[in-house]
Amino acid sequence: MLDAIFSGISIGSVLLIAALGLAIVFGLMGVINMAHGELMMLGAYTTFLVQNLFKSFGEGAFEIYIFPALIAAFIVTAIAGVILERGVVRFLYGRPLETLLATWGVSLMLQQFVRSINWVMAIGLVLFCALFFGAWGLLGKRANWVAIKTQALSILLPVSAGISIAVGSLLAQQFKLTVTKPWFGAQNVDVTAPRWLRGGIPIGDSQLPSTRLFIIALTILCLLGLYWFLNRSLWGLRIRAVTQNRSMSACLGIATNTVDSLTFALGSGLAGIAGSAIALLGSVGPNTGQNYIVDTFMVVVVGGVGKLVGSIVAALAIGTASFLIGSGTLAAVFEKIPPLAEFFNFFATASMAKVMVFAAIIVFLQVRPGGLFPQKGRTVES
């Protein structure tokens, strides 16, 4: 039972660190981001690339690669989040269904992007971003920008894309196999933990894996850092102000568009850190994010939208319940009560345990639709 509870808590920690970013984007901004799982996947692949880079520096450098990998994963996914917010989500605020469909499409694109990315595509994308956003920024300084905005978009988009495709085609013809071979492909890749994370701490007849202890510690650090940022920093105050009353915040001089981008970058960066943590537990593939997106949404909804304390309780409860049921521990506990033992034996697989937990969550939300810690105040009542 001790092993099972610890494993459940460690799974809950993985869910929590995955749900932190979603709690910000969904809870504070009201955006249903179906690409959140793919941002976690980008963080995991970033960890894989940093690992390979540090391997070339020798064994000593490899032992500390996880710390630069966490920073790199945060930065890469934060940039991806800003691009997603400015390129897609910004035009869909207040339309949750359209946001859901748009971000779901982005998630499919990111999965295919990881399968197909090569040097030609990478150079083309960098060139497209430089041309398009560079010209967009220069034109945005013109006095008549609002009047020519639509016309500029209709010209810049095809011209930048055409130049990027042409350059990519020339590179493909010039360096056939060396630059067109996919970096990752459809197969999974493996991230190797440093030597100091491969053991465990013995407690009696049990052993607590160092990797999962590291993930629990990382989750606690992320929670403390997020709490400090939202409650003690100037930008955290601005985020909370815009969340409560966007119009009044704009009247007081707060750049609400910048706050939106910062919030999305923070949530996406946390997803990248979650991806790094997940990479330490097993192989990583293009569909890695899909394994966590439903569970993370359940954590946010059960805990209460926008409530970090609720997310903590919900993540630990869902993770522990899923493992206790799926591992057959509850079936063994109720061995002397045949009806209950047979019932829990039927759900003693990972997939069936998710079904049972999901059913229990549906019943719970019928009783408390606002979650464990529902929002209160005049903003909610209005």
221-251 in b/e burial notation, b at 16+ Cβ within 10 A? ebbeebeeebeeeeebebbebbbeeeeebee
Asked if 210 and 198 count as a contact pair (C-beta separation under 8 A), the reply is yes
CA dist 274 and 331 (Å) reads 31
| Rounded Cα–Cα distance for residues 11 and 320 (Å) | 7
Residue 198 banded pLDDT, cuts 50, 70, 90: confident
Q: What is the DSSP string of 126-149?
A: HHHHHHHHHHHHHHTTSTTHHHHH
**Contact assessment for residue 239 and residue 28, using Cβ atoms and an 8 Å cutoff:** yes
pLDDT tens digit string along 76-93?
999 998 888 888 888 887
Identify which has the larger pLDDT, 376 or 141.
141
Q: How far apart are CA 306 and CA 187, in angstroms?
A: 36
Could you say which DSSP state residue 192 is in? P
pLDDT digits (tens, 9 = 90+) for 93-134: 778 788 888 888 988 988 888 888 887 888 888 888 888 878
Alpha helices, DSSP H, located in the chain: 2-22, 29, 36-55, 59-62, 66-87, 96-116, 119-139, 145-174, 176-180, 210-232, 234-244, 246-251, 256-279, 293-303, 308-326, 329-333, 338-346, 350-367, 378-381
Q: pLDDT by residue (tens digit) across 137-185?
A: 787 777 777 777 778 778 888 888 888 888 877 877 776 655 667 778 7
Identify any residues that bridge with 284 across adjacent strands, giving them in sequence order.
Answer: 189
